[in-house]
Every structure is written in structure tokens, then in C-alpha cells.
Amino acid sequence: MMKNVYSRPSGIFEGAVTGFCPGCMHSSVCKVVAEVLDELGMVNNACYVQGVGCCGLAVTYFDMDTVAAPHGRACAIASAFKRCSPETLVFTYQGDGDLAAIGLAETMSAANRGENFTVIFVNNGIYGMTGGQMAPTTMVGVKTTTTPYGRSESEHGAPLHMCEILSQLEAPAYIARVTLADVPNAKKAKAAVKKAFQYQLDGKGFSFVEFVSNCPTNWGMSPLESLDHVHNVILKEFPLGEFRAK
Amino acid sequence: MSEKIFMKGCEAVAETAVRAGCRFFAGYPITPQNDVPEYFARRMPQVGGVFIQGESEVASSNMAYGAAAAGVRSMTSSSSCGISLKSEAISWMAGARLPVVVANFQRGGPGIGTIQPAQQDYTQATKASGNGGFKMLVLSPSTLQEAVDMTWQAFELADKYSNPVLLLMDGFTGTMMEPVELPEALSDEQVAAIRATKTWAATGKKGGPQHKVMCGPGLDTRISQEQMNIRDGKMYEEWKTTEVEYEDYMTEDAEVILTAYGISGRIAKSAVGILRAEGIKAGLIRPKKVYPFPDEAYEKLNFDTLKGIVCAEMAIPAQFAVDVENVVHGRTKIATALSSGGEILDRSAIVEAARALCGK
């Protein structure tokens, strides 16, 4: 007898063809989110608000209800949507340019109001979709298409640490930074997503999970090199862990 | 219908919206429309609705978009420079075909301009309230009773076409007080029934196919942006025969036509009687919807006997007059009576312009 040990999560399209680049962890983030929704039995009662950028490619993956947001506005839309449809599990799916640059006001304000939805934030330190421009999370010294001489702290500022910034607010219920760059951390990441969604289901308020991710294409690295880079460099700037668990 | 009550324009619009089943409002403070969010802040909790003061006009209009995506009758309002900030979400509402009512209580411009009443957003309202060449039905009341009636109508039209509708107010109609007769409020059951018709709302698949509230095709290869533009363009064309609305007042024997919309339409109407008393046969054309523009109201004029048209508006340079000129196309003389930047339109300027066209 064959035993089924793993199946495609029901929230991922059958035969989905990835729009993400080879080695990009976005598709794995989508998979983890969909697995958790299955475990919670919420795929049929979920809606994700998609940001603009590579995160928008999730539309080729997630087989669940969705609202597309203008660049940066996902947290404003999710705030209103959730208040009008409290029985729906609502999460935004946003990258770092979307969430931490153009959408900073919407992110901070929704968090400060303690809106009862979840943010899935994929931080790869760059604008991927538009071809590798500097993001608010880009490391100092890194050359991008708009920092051809490297990000300079005096000119461009230091990287924004969203978990740390949000932790200054009173309202957020759950804040965690995770990564899928290795198996033990991937297990922790999935647990964090589950916890965040459970917080929402329990009506505890704003929950936020940041995935430290990679961008082999725009980092100019092979997928494996990009994972090493996450471990050796990025995680030193963006430490993992739970910042808030009310 | 209930009894007449004395109300401020902003509050009459907000109360009518609640009665029409609006259960979400997001706004941001800007004069002269602050009474709208303030009213909703008090009123929404009483009817189980949601009010959010957004962190900006950008956020609050996106919130109205988000609420509409959940199937709720939704509204946002602002004034002039605030509407420019809302244009991002307005364009998305049109692209995603979401029913939302947007109200603009016009003030002076450009930029921050003045806080006093003006009509300087006509071109923006009727031609391009955002990128991408979309259209909205644009309703412009000249009395508070009409503001009440049009607010109700705006929610009906937004749902009918699943498209944003613009209520083009001004600082006068927003802040003055008049007796109004309010419509009977929809019951909770009626509000729920309207929401239930929105089977496209993205509130969960519930075992069925995915609901996508998207602006544009996204990565869906089954439909192109061009096909969506063609679909929407057909609807806009259809409006030119089904949605034209204007007031035609004493035009049959008129030798001179006064034309204006919104509060200026009311001022111009009062000039008709003054001119008639002087023996000048004046008439009025007042578009109630400024989009689609009522070409037919002008087309049916007798240009052989007409001495001219006076376009009155609170905008310098003139904006509404350009649409009148485009229809009239040189068949009669066109004069303007204008004010701008918060200055009140002077009725005597309209009367003078009409006299001059009639050689008096």
C-alpha cells in the first residue's frame, strides 16, 4: 500500500506554474501560508490582499479569494475589509518596497490601530520586480541599480527594521521575524505563521510575520549562494525571533 | 417620506448615505467637508457600520475600496486637493469595477488654494479623476434637497453599474443649511439583501471558485487590459443615452440661455426671472449630471433665433464652458460669468452678460 505523506495544499492552484525566479523563496512562503490555512481549515474563508511587486506573483499560486491593492496600500485595504467582514481570515502579502517604503504610513497606522489582520512581509532587501533598485531594507554598501556606488548610510540611510519599529507600538499582538533559509528555521517560520493566524482568529489584533528572503536574480547569486548570504550577512542585520507575543 | 428637517449640506449627504445602506465610510480631515467624517463617526456605530479616520486621503480612499471589495456600500469624501490624493484609489475602483460613492466638496485651487467654495475641479471630475481614461457618473446638486436625492441615487447607480460614482459638491452646498426631506432608511434586512447580491465579494471561496477583486488582468491570460477597456468603454457610451440628466427651465421661447451646474446653476436660475422682468426672454439649462454631459439640451436649441449663451461657473479659467463650446460649435455666441478661488459668483455679472448678448 502506498501511503500519502504529502499533498499540495488546497490553497495552491493545481498545476500552478511559478512566476517567481528560480531559487526565490517567495514560492516557499506561499506554500507555508497555504499549508497553515489547510491546518486551520480556513482556505475557504480566507482573503489575501496582494501588494505590488514580486508579491503580486502570488496570484499565480494562491487559490483563494484576493483583493489587489495599489502599491503600498494593502494594510489600509485590509483594515477596512476585515472590519466589514470579520469572519474572513485576512492577510496581506507584501514585499519590502511595498510595505516599508511607499506603504510605511499605511503599515504603521494599521498596526497602531491594532487592526485584526495578519501581515505576511517578504523582505528580500531589494525591489525585485522592477529590476533591482534600492529598497528601504537594502544593506549598507550594497550596489543596486539606483545605488551604483553602493548604499551609503549618510546619503540613503540605514536599513529599516520593521519588526523592531513596530515593536515600539502598543497595539500589535504578534510580531516575528523568520526565514525559510534552512530546515529548522523553516519549521519555526511555519509555527510563527500559524500563531499569527491563530491570534487573528482569536481576535487579538494586528499580527506581523517578516520572512527574511532572498533574491538570487537581483543579488547576482546562485540560489545556494543567496541562502549562504542570508545566513552569513543578512541575518546579522535582521535577527530572527519573536518580538511580541501578547 | 419623513418630515422636513433643517440640515447642513455635509450632514444631509452623510445621513442620506446611512439611510441608503452605506455601512462604511473612511475620510481624512480637510475643510470644507469635515462635517461629513464627523457625522459618520457619530452615526456609524448606531447602525452597526464602520467609520475609520484614515491616516491620509490616500489611505482613506483605499479603505473605501477595501470595504467595497467585501460587498459593503462604501463611501469616502474630501475636498479638491484631497481628491487629487484619492485619485489613486478612484482609478483602482474604476479598474476593478467596485461600487463606491466619492464626494468632492470643491474649494479653490490649484494645490491647497483656498478653503472657500469653488468649482475648479470640473475638468478633473468629468475628464480624468485618475490615470487610465476611466469614467464615472458625476452628479452635481444645486440645492440640499437635490444633494439628498442625488446621494441616494449615487449609491443606486454605483451598484447598478458596479462603478465608482462622484458626487460633485462645493463648499456652499456642503456648509449651508436648508430644509430637506430625507428618504426612509433601508432596513437592516434590505441592507443585508443588497450586500448578498454582491456575489463577487472576496469574502472567502466557501467551497466555490476564487473571487478576485483585481484592477486590470493581473497575470490572468484569459482577458487582456484592452478587452477590459473595450468592455468599460461600451458602458460609458451607453451612459450617453441612458444617464443624461438636466434641468430645462423656460428655454422654449428663450432668446438667451443661461447655463451652469451645481450652486452656480441655482444662482443662474435666479437670474432668469430678473431678465424676464426686464423683457429679456432668458432660459436656463442646468446639467444635473455633468458626466455624461447633456449635449441634447443644447442641440435642441433654436440657433436661428438664439442670441447667445451665458456660461456661469466658479472657475477661472472657465472649465464647464469648454464643454458647452464643444457642443455649440460656433452656432451662437458664448459669454461667461466667472468667479474663482473662493469668490462668490455674482448674479449681476450673469445678468450683465445676458443683457450684452441681447444688445441691451
Residue A93, classed as helix, strand or coil, is strand
Residue of B63, B69, B204 with shortest CB distance to A44 = B204
CB of B213 within 8 Å of any CB in chain A?
yes
Residue B333 clears pLDDT 70, i.e. is over it = yes
Asked if A123 and A26 count as a contact pair (C-beta separation under 8 A), the reply is no
pLDDT in tens, A108-152: 999 999 999 999 999 999 999 999 999 999 999 999 999 999 999
Residue B124, classed as helix, strand or coil, is helix
Please provide the average confidence, as pLDDT, over all residues in chain A: 97
Q: For residue A106, is it within any domain? A: yes
Measured CA to CA in angstroms, residue B209 lies from A63, A64, A146 at distances of: 9, 8, 42
Q: For residue B273, is it within any domain? A: yes
Q: Contacts of residue A84 in chain B, CB cutoff 8 Å?
A: 23-24, 50, 66-67, 70-72
Least confidently predicted of A3-17, A174-188, B252-266, B309-323: A3-17
> For the stretch B127-142, what's the b/e string if a residue is b when 16 or more beta carbons lie within 10 angstroms of its beta carbon?
eebbeeebbbbbbbbb
Binary contact (B65, A80; C-beta < 8 A)? yes
Residue A85, classed as helix, strand or coil, is coil
Q: Is the alpha carbon torsion for A144, A146, A149, A155 positive or negative?
A: negative
CA of B222 to nearest chain A CA: how many angstroms apart?
13
Binary contact (A68, B215; C-beta < 8 A)? yes
Please provide the average confidence, as pLDDT, over all residues in chain B: 97
Beta-strand pair B4-8/B177-181? antiparallel
Q: Per-residue confidence at A43, pLDDT binned at 50, 70, 90?
A: very high
Helices assigned H by DSSP within A119-220 = 153-156, 162-166, 183-201, 216-219
Q: For residue B202, is it within any domain? A: no
Phi, psi of A3 (to 5 degrees): -110, 130
User: Which residues constitute the domain of residue B144?
Assistant: 4-196
The total of structural domains in chain B comes to: 2
Instruction: Give the pLDDT score at A18.
Output: 80
Do B124 and B22 share a structural domain? Answer: yes
- Section A56-82 average pLDDT: 96
Instruction: Give the pLDDT score at B2.
Output: 66
Binary contact (B204, A77; C-beta < 8 A)? no
pLDDT in tens, A210-231: 999 999 999 999 999 999 999 9
Binary contact (B203, A64; C-beta < 8 A)? no
* DSSP string of B307-330, one letter each residue: -EEEEEES-SS-SHHHHHHHHHTT
Phi, psi of B8 (to 5 degrees): -80, 150
Binary contact (B69, A67; C-beta < 8 A)? yes
Q: Contacts of residue B76 in chain A, CB cutoff 8 Å?
A: none
Q: A199: which strand partners?
A: none
Q: For residue A34, is it within any domain? A: yes
Do B297 and B188 share a structural domain? Answer: no
Q: Which of A18, A65, A93 best probes binding to B when mutated, by most B CB atoms within 10 angstroms?
A: A65
Do B262 and B118 share a structural domain? Answer: no
Q: For residue A91, is it within any domain? A: yes
pLDDT in tens, B46-84: 999 999 999 999 999 999 999 999 999 999 999 999 999
AA identity, residue B260: A
Do B146 and B269 share a structural domain? Answer: no
The total of structural domains in chain A comes to: 1
Helices assigned H by DSSP within chain B = 9-19, 35-43, 57-69, 81-96, 122-127, 144-161, 171-175, 188-196, 225-242, 262-277, 295-299, 320-328, 347-357
Q: Is ipTM over 0.95?
A: yes
Q: Would you tell me how many other CB atoms lie within 10 Å of the CB of residue B222?
A: 6
Q: Which of B77, B290, B264 is nearest to B172 (CA)?
A: B264
Q: For residue A9, is it within any domain? A: no
Q: How far apart are the first and last CA of chain B?
A: 47
CA of B231 to nearest chain A CA: how many angstroms apart?
20
Binary contact (B203, A87; C-beta < 8 A)? yes
Interface of A with B (CB under 8 A): 19, 43-47, 49, 56-57, 59-60, 63-70, 73, 76-81, 83-85, 87-88, 105-106, 108-109
Least confidently predicted of A66-70, B3-7, B351-355: B3-7
Binary contact (B23, A106; C-beta < 8 A)? no
Do B258 and B184 share a structural domain? Answer: no
Q: For residue B143, is it within any domain? A: yes
Give dist(CA B311, CA B337) in Å, integer: 6
User: Which residues constitute the domain of residue A168?
Assistant: 26-245
Instruction: Give the pLDDT score at A19.
Output: 86
Residue B273 clears pLDDT 70, i.e. is over it = yes
